[in-house]
A and B are shown apart, each in its own frame.
Chain A
Amino acid sequence: MQMIPPKADAADAMEIAGVRFGSRLMLGTAGYPNRQVMLDALDAGGAEIVTVSIRRISLEGYAESMTDVLKGKHLLPNTSGCATAKDAVLTAQLAREALETNWVKLEVIGDRDTLYPDVEELLRAAEELVRDGFIVLPYANDDPVTCRKLVDVGCAAVMPMGSFIGSGLGVANPAAMARIVADSPVPVICDAGIGTASDAAVAMELGCSGVLLNTAVAKALDPVRMARAMGLAVEAGRAAHLAGRIPKLARAEPSSPQLGLIGG
């Protein structure tokens, strides 16, 4: 079935490092049932920015390149799997050479069970890569202090986690996410933890500029349909954020007029 991607709103583009994107949904390319489902899902979600990893080639030979498969997308290489600033910096530099891009999704992982960032190494790598001319988008803790420090060293955006990578737990600390958004002079992208469409909508309602997710789509029963749902949720959440939600009350507030009641 053909999935119609949500219409990008040109007047409300997401701008990162001076580049405008119509879609606020970024998708990963890993873990889909097959390559065609991945491509259909990317299209159905309307994603312009898609992430890839950088890995050692198989010594058996050279297979088909992701660059050909993902032609027309804005490729964002990640440094996933790196545990030190040194490895992350070299991976980013290799990605720059391989993909001819100075954009990088910086990941420096401190712990394999939680996949939490190693903040000290992350900051060190971010600083070094910014100095080397990279547009750095760091995967970070949902911690306003860490995010501020990443901005201070020159990151073009910050990407705090909604919750554990791949967990589907959604935005675990909405108050912290809203605080990060309120304080950040650069776009905030909610990265990781999204499980379903409402999670993506929540991130956008909190004021995030975009959402980056992978597993929620790739491992859904119907990845293409879920990608479309995510695209719509990001649009809906963005619109709700701009519209300005009503305050939450701990009591009822009738919506029908209170005058002219029958029997009143």
Chain B
Amino acid sequence: MSQTLTINGQSRASTAATVAALLAEEGVPLDAKGVAVALNGAVVRKMEWNATALASGDTVEIVKPFSGG
């Protein structure tokens, strides 16, 4: 079933049922180093990616380290 999520600030349709499924959909390897996820303003630990369900209207942030000062 398709739902509408806000992913990194963009509203998009997704069929992903969990955080892990969403990452797969976005092409982020689950063993990728340095990736972190927040769901509706709270961090979802890597170990919880499989078990954390997504619902329509959810806001997801997917981040990683970049160069910085």
What residues of chain A have their CB less than 8 Å away from a CB belonging to chain B?
28-32, 38, 51-57, 59-62, 65-68, 75, 77-78, 80, 86, 90-91, 93-99, 165, 214-215
- Most A CB atoms within 10 A — which of B10, B63, B65, B66? B65
Residues of B within 8 A of A51 (CB): 68-69
With both beta carbons as reference points, the residue of chain B lying nearest to A68 in the complex is identified as B33
Say yes or no for B53: interface residue by CB 8 A criterion. no
B63 touches A55 (CB 8 A): yes
From B27, B32, B63, A94 is in contact (CB under 8 Å) with: B63
Would A56 and B62 be within 8 Å (CB), given that A30-B68, A62-B28, A66-B67 are in contact?
yes
Residues of A within 8 A of B27 (CB): 60-62
CB distance from A75 to the nearest CB of B (A): 7
Residues of A within 8 A of B17 (CB): none
From A52, A86, A98, B68 is in contact (CB under 8 Å) with: A52
CB distance from B18 to the nearest CB of A (A): 17
CB distance from B58 to the nearest CB of A (A): 15
CB distance from B43 to the nearest CB of A (A): 5
Number of residues on chain B facing chain A (CB within 8 A) = 28
Tell me the bound Cα distance from A215 to B50 in angstroms.
Answer: 41
Residues of B within 8 A of A77 (CB): 65, 68
Query: Which 9 pairs between the two chains have the least Cβ-Cβ distance?
Result: A53-B68, A28-B69, A214-B69, A98-B36, A97-B36, A56-B8, A30-B67, A66-B65, A29-B67
With both beta carbons as reference points, the residue of chain A lying nearest to B28 in the complex is identified as A62
Q: Name 19 A/B residue pairs within 8 A (Cβ), A-sorted.
A: A28-B69, A29-B68, A30-B68, A52-B68, A53-B68, A56-B61, A57-B8, A61-B28, A62-B27, A62-B64, A65-B32, A65-B33, A66-B34, A77-B65, A78-B69, A90-B61, A96-B43, A97-B45, A215-B69
